């Protein structure tokens, strides 16, 4: 047995550092989501766990004969895997308890979708570089024209699809959205042909309302539909996995 065997786990992320783990779990995980990654200490590993709105990191050590995690020692990867399949409860020195519920897989079936580059130009020199922005992961954002619920007029809004939430803003630069739609409550997203003279229209259906919107191009329309439906499929898959 060797330490490399732990790297065969489906939720081990090679090349993932502390910052990347925090970005993945905060953006895409829920409380109790975890992944295993290499530690900054050579030869060791770290378990990164989503806890409320933060991520905590716990050491997993290879002693030369077994794996040591917390107060437990495991002689094989199978023993370690069995321990995590039983959804253990862990607590830090702060007293916060977290149930390890959802391993974050190394490979996720994401939609094969790329934007076409229309403009590409340099606008500064390398000497101008000081500090980059604070990065966040957005699934998609862009302008869509939405049908109002009261006056039935079409108005262009700035939409952001992030995690399981679809938000829209009056202006692109606004900080507060007009509304945030929880896609956990969405039952359907597909093309809609009920509006004469409007092209690239699709609908997003909730029990309490159906939203109609259209994109400027057919490709943009297809991209929005694909990404929203991908979120819905992932939600259904997660629910089935938990129920089992």
**Buried b or exposed e, range 188-226, using 16+ CB within 10 angstroms:** ebeebeeeeeeebbbbbbeeeeebbbbbeeeebbebbbe
Task: Find the angle CA(62)-CA(63)-CA(68) to the nearest 5 degrees.
Answer: 65
More confident residue, 17 or 233: 17
pLDDT in tens, 25-44: 888 888 888 899 999 888 88
Looking at residue 118, what is its pLDDT? 59
Gap between the Cα atoms of 94 and 114, Å rounded: 43
* pLDDT confidence tier of residue 241, bands split at 50, 70 and 90: very low
* pLDDT confidence tier of residue 138, bands split at 50, 70 and 90: very low
Looking at residue 115, what is its pLDDT? 61
Task: Find the angle CA(108)-CA(113)-CA(114) to the nearest 5 degrees.
Answer: 125
Per the structure block, which two tokens stand in for 116? 């076409």
pTM as predicted:
0.50
Task: Give, for 21, the enclosing helix (H) or strand (E).
Answer: helix 18-28
Gap between the Cα atoms of 214 and 231, Å rounded: 19
Local structure of residue 14 (DSSP, 8 states): T
pLDDT in tens, 185-200: 999 999 999 998 899 9
Domains annotated on the chain, with CATH: 3-103 (3.30.505.10), 137-243 (2.30.29.30)
Looking at residue 181, what is its pLDDT? 95
Give 73: exposed, middle or buried? Use CB within 10 Å, 0-12, 13-18, 19+. Answer: middle
Gap between the Cα atoms of 176 and 36, Å rounded: 35
Per DSSP, the three-state class of 117 is coil
Per the structure block, which two tokens stand in for 197? 């003279």
Collect all residues with Cβ–Cβ distance below 8 Å to 47 and sequence separation of at least 6: 34, 35, 36, 57, 58, 59, 60, 69
Check the CA dihedral 83-88-72-68 and report its sign.
positive
């Amino acid at each position: 047995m060797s330490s490399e065997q732990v790297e065969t786990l489906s939720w081990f992320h090679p090349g993932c550092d502390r910052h990347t783990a925090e970005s993945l779990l905060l953006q895409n995980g829920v409380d109790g989501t975890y992944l295993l990654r290499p530690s900054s200490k050579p030869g060791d590993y770290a378990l990164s766990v989503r806890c409320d709105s933060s991520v905590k990191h716990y050491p997993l050590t290879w002693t030369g004969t077994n794996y040591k995690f917390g107060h437990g020692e495991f002689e094989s990867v199978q023993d370690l895997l069995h321990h995590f399949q039983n959804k253990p409860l862990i607590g830090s020195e702060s007293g916060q308890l977290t149930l390890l519920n959802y391993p974050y897989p190394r490979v996720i079936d994401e939609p094969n979708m790329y934007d076409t580059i229309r403009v590409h130009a340099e606008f500064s020199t390398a000497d101008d570089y000081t500090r980059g922005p604070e990065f966040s992961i957005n699934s998609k954002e862009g302008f869509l024209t939405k049908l109002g619920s009261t006056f039935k007029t079409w108005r262009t809004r700035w939409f952001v699809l992030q995690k399981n939430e679809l938000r829209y803003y009056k202006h692109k630069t606004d900080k507060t959205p007009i509304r945030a739609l929880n896609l956990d409550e969405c039952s359907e997203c597909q093309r809609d042909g009920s509006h004469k003279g409007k092209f690239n229209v699709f609908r997003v259906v909730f029990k309490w309302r159906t939203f109609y919107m259209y994109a400027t191009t057919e490709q943009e329309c297809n991209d929005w539909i694909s990404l929203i439906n991908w979120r819905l499929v992932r939600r259904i898959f997660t629910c089935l996995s938990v129920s089992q």
